[in-house]
Amino acid sequence: MDQSNLIIWTFYFYLMIKFSFATIGLLIIALSCTSTSKTSLTHTVSKNQFYSKLNDTQQKKFNNGIDFVASGNIPVSWNLELNFDKDFLFSTSDGVHSLAYASKAIEENNFEYYETNSKAGKLAISIFKEPCSAGKSQKVTVKFLEKEYTGCGQYLYNNQLNNSWVLEKMGNEKQEAKRFSKGLPVITINLIDNSINGHDGCNNLFGKLSVQGTRIHFGPIAQTKMLCQDNNPSFEKIVSEKISNQVASYFFKEGKLVLYLIDDSQLSFTPKL
């Protein structure tokens, strides 16, 4: 091999080694960014689940079917437990014990109103949107036998909702990523700021929600308007017609989130993390 060819081959191997190291470096950076992003998301989910976790007493009541609890000291010490599917229990330190069938809420501008009758008399409950001084609790008034009781209350919930959820099934039909432009739809529920965001397989979505026991009250959900070819529009339609501004029940089955929608249809999600 003459000297000119030797120089050419030496330069060629130099370039190969240089670009190989550069490629490896870029790969390491990409993997590092992916790992950092995933770690950050995991940290956020864990943090939100920690701060939204019910205390042991609240968790026990929720497990027993209680959706809302309230208490106060005006005019005497009192307690209220609401099971929206069954009954309302109101008791006071001076001997009142009123058990009544659950009633539906009447929505007003700044509060929800419940009225029902027990053997002891009419029970009128107002849950205000304005917060009490303690945490996420809300102002509550109870009118019973011409007395008004005031205090604070809180909706109970399952804090496992705090997560990112990947659509698995619509009804009994298992969904495939290849049918959606961005892959399977994902929703992220945040109980700290009461928000929902994600994408429907094509367009991004975002909005507000409130969790009341085993029900999720969704506010208006906005969706971007991109045109995606070969995208399954079914989930997008469900979001706009059956989730946005609607109420859905939820439960967990084998670690999966199931939403029970207004038309009795179901959506099943698997946790992203």
Question: In which band, very low, low, confident or very high, does the pLDDT at 15 lie, cut at 50, 70 and 90?
Answer: very low
pTM, 2 dp: 0.77
**Residue 34 pLDDT more than 70?**
no
**Can you give the pLDDT at residue 171?**
94
Confirm if 246 and 262 have CB atoms less than 8 A apart.
Answer: yes
pLDDT, one tens digit per residue, over 121-144 is 999 999 998 888 756 689 999 999
pLDDT band at 38 (very low <50, low <70, confident <90, very high): very low
Contact 102, 89 (CB under 8 A): no
Write phi, then psi, for 161 (nearest 5 degrees).
Answer: -55, -30
Sequence-separated (6 or more) residues with CB below 8 Å from residue 129: 110, 111, 138
Token reading at 217: 């009250």
Q: What is the mean pLDDT of residues 236-245?
A: 95
Average pLDDT of the residues of the chain: 85
**Facing residues of 114 across strands?**
125
Write out pLDDT tens, residues 181-211.
999 999 999 998 999 999 999 999 999 999 9
Which residue's structure tokens are 């991109």? 226
Strand order in the sheet with 68-74: 97-101, 87-92, 78-82, 68-74, 147-155, 138-144, 121-131, 111-118, 106-107
What are the beta bridge partners of residue 127? Answer: 112, 140
Mean pLDDT of 158-162: 93
Mean pLDDT of 172-183: 93
Residue 171: left (phi > 0), alpha (psi -120 to 50), or beta? left
Model confidence band, residue 247 (pLDDT cutoffs 50, 70, 90) = very high
pLDDT at position 82 is: 97
Flag whether pLDDT at 23 surpasses 60.
Answer: no
Q: Average pLDDT, stretch 238-259?
A: 96
| Average pLDDT score over residue span 230-252 | 93
